[in-house]
Structure 1
Amino acid sequence: MPRPHGFAYERRRDGSVVLTHQGRAAGVLRGGRAEKFLVEVETGDAQLMMARWTGSYRFGNERRARSHPRNQGGRTGGR
Structure 2
Amino acid sequence: MSEHTVRSPLPGVFYRRPAPDQPPFVEEGGTVSADQTIGLVEIMKQYQEVKAGADGSLSAFVVEDQAVLGAGDPVATVEVG
Same fold, judged at TM 0.5 (above): no
Q: What TM-score comes out, normalization by structure 1 length? A: 0.32
More helix by share: 1
Q: What TM-score comes out, normalization by structure 2 length? A: 0.31
Structure 1 or 2, whichever has the larger Rg, is: 1
More strand by share: 2
